[in-house]
Copies of this chain bind each other. A is one copy, B any other.
Amino acid sequence: MNMKEQVKNRKIYLFTPGPTPIPPQVLERMNQPIIHHRSDEFREIMGRVNSNLQYLFQTKQPVLTLSSSGTGAMESTFVNLFSPGEKIIAVNNGKFGERWVKMPQEFGLNVVELKYNWGDAPSIGDIQTALKQKPDVRAVYLVHCETSSGTYTDIKSIAEVIHRESDALVCVDGVCSVGGMELRFDEWKLDVCVTSSQKGLMIPPGLAFVTMSERAIERMKDSKLPKYYFDLGKSLDVYKTNDTPWTPAISLVQGLDAALEMIKEEGIESRWKTHNENAEFVRSQVKLLGLKLFSSFPSDAVTTVEFPQGVESKKFHQILRDDYGIYFAKGQSQYMEKIFRIAHIGFHEKNEFQIAMHGLEKVLI
């Protein structure tokens, strides 16, 4: 029996920031015979999903379900809310922030990039200064938890200052945070928030979600960018009848229904708390092992750790996987070999983080 076969028959502990482990309840629902999406049965599911997604985002606004990855849903916000030449601020403090600079540029927007080192995050003062220098910006894009560096941005306080200083829309990439980190769409007066299925929501990738404030929906009318598949107006048109404009990823919606019921039953505040506790535990253990946290603003969704001198990334992940069944994530881009990432989002029991930390200790020895 070679290593690979060993792993094949071993329990897997997935601590990657998407996909995250799928609960058996979700798998079971995805195993139901497939139903037609233009049927009363499906609309009943979609109706429940729509309502529970509002609970997830803590909003009374519609939450639209798209069949795409989170990147697709982010694109939908640019092409529905803006016109070529319009100015927006985008914070780039990691791989995803960088994408939210490049993507709107591709669509002809005038992007003011606020660039930070990976692991760093914008302060309230930074945003205030940027808004004073560019009073005509139409939106500020922020990443709540930058998956690439595990960095937290204080969306709540920054949203306050944006509203005080300007009428720019507050647009949040919540892909890595929603479901795992406190986010209150209505109370924090956010205008746009996006997430996807394979992170805090505990289902496989393939679905993404967008919610928008009333004033964001109002802005859609002025947008001159072409769109079709990602036309959120078409989604809003059929939202009230629990329909989607195109064939949705039905089995994933069935799984989502089960996942959202689990989240609702536990309570979203309880989930935020658990994620925080698990993250605190991992951070404290990492320090106890003499390792250095990479991010200056560690998030409760992903912990990023610098490789100590002499530890080789490839071998590290290989031993963890083959000997312990543990999957951490590599770094991305220039940090590929320099950091590793331990995700806390998704379907995890507390003691699994003990397993993770035990594996980490062993592999370092």
Report which A residues bind B (CB closer than 8 A). Answer: 12, 14, 16, 18-19, 21-22, 27, 30-31, 33-39, 67-72, 75, 102-103, 106-108, 196, 198, 204-207, 225-230, 246-252, 327, 329-330
Contacts and interface: CB of A to CB of B under 8 A. Distances in A.
Contacts of A71: 228-229, 246-247
A42 B68 CA distance: 19
Q: Is the interface of A mostly helix, strand, loop or mixed?
A: loop
A336 to B, nearest CB: 10
A34 B22 contact: yes
Given A106-B226, A204-B34, A329-B36, A19 B69 contact: no
B27 A14 contact: no
Contacts of A207: 206
Copies in the complex: 2
B67 A68 contact: yes
A289 to B, nearest CB: 24
Contacts of A18: 247
Contact of A252 (B36, B70, B206): B206
Given A19-B36, A34-B204, A71-B247, 13 more contacts: A14-B34, A31-B31, A36-B327, A67-B72, A67-B205, A69-B229, A69-B247, A71-B229, A71-B246, A103-B228, A198-B247, A206-B248, A251-B252
A247 B33 CA distance: 26
Contact of A68 (B30, B34, B68, B252): B68
Nearest to A78: B228
Nearest to A230: B229
B34 A19 contact: yes
Going nearest first, the 10 A-B pairs with the smallest beta carbon separation are A206-B249, A204-B251, A72-B229, A69-B246, A71-B246, A206-B206, A205-B247, A69-B247, A19-B34, A75-B229
Contacts of A70: 247
